[in-house]
Amino acid sequence: MSELISNTEYKSAMSLRDTERGIKFIKDFFQDNLAQALNLQRVSAPLFLRKGSGVNDDLNGIEAKAAFKIKDDGYSDVECLFSLAKWKRMVLADYGFEQGEGLYTDMNAIRPDEECLDNLHSIYVDQWDWERVMSREERNLDFLKMIVRKIYDVLKKTEAAVDAKYPQIKPMLPDEITFVHSEDLLDMYPDLCPRERENRITEKHGAVFVIGIGGELKDSTTHDGRAPDYDDWTTPTGEGRIGLNGDILLWYPLLNRAIEISSMGIRVDAEAMLRQLEIRGAPERKDMPWHKRLIADELPLSVGGGIGQSRLCMYFLRKLHVGEVHASVWPEDMTQKCKEAGIMLL
């Protein structure tokens, strides 16, 4: 069911044409600086993949994919992307990327099973997918935090650049990002659900990286779902805790809630993947082509993630609805509500 958070005091600081200019400015600036910070090369990415290859991201394993058949290929089945989490790692191997090098690309996905279309959620997803080769010695929490800090530095630079170009938009990111484990959040706020825990901690600190998403917590729940075959959410860290992955969250006063800007992490090795496939009751995936390559040590160890392009533009341009920074299809009642609230959807 669609929901809309309205704000009677909201009025866009920019016209539609200025918004479009701002979107391009932010995307160009951020991706150039991200590539420099993480030593990434831009590559081309597909919009759809063959069904059954095991390369597409399965999210939580229950969401339906947009799919169609190719007439001139014997009516073979293909499916639109959810994300490029596994595809990127395959490209690192096939293109010959070495340790400390990586790639980024524009990822455009369709998620028709999105359950709640609202200010932040759309059936259309656009993000920068990135992936970087790492060594086995770097598979630890300290290395993950180092990468997160590099990304956060790029966010800070982007905010400063937006402030210089659009003085009506004032900076609000804190100087540093705060790290917190999902197990600590459970201890801190045992009576709250995971989303409310995120809101509470992010409002306090402004920018937070929540560590350990997908693994089982001590109350037998998970902070949020993760597929079993890309992020490593079961490996014990040096602190004896689950998870070498996490989410970057920013506090957004216009919506009075935290916004997830990035989901990322150190990727599974063969051992972690097989363990997580068993946990999720999907051991048969190990026989898919992509999974066989990982087991055969044909894919490099890597760290990677996705960074939401529209959410980033929404945050930096101080927009109330993601439809103000990307074009999608919305329920008729939401379109009408946005019109009445003065929200100009693209």
Please list the active-site residues.
57, 111, 127, 247, 260, 263
H helix intervals, the chain:
16-38, 87-94, 141-165, 182-188, 194-205, 270-279, 289-295, 309-316, 332-340
Alpha helix ranges (H) inside 39-127: 87-94
Bridge partners (DSSP) listed for residue 77 = 69
The SS3 call for residue 158 is helix
Tell me the DSSP string of 260-311. Answer: EEEEEEEBP-HHHHHHHHHHTT-GGGGGSHHHHHHHTT-S--EEEEEEEHHH
Going by C-alpha positions, the residue among 226, 231, 326, 220 that lies closest to residue 273 is 231
- How far apart, in Å, do the first and last CA atoms of the chain sit? 21
Query: Are 143 and 303 a contacting pair, CB within 8 Å?
Result: yes
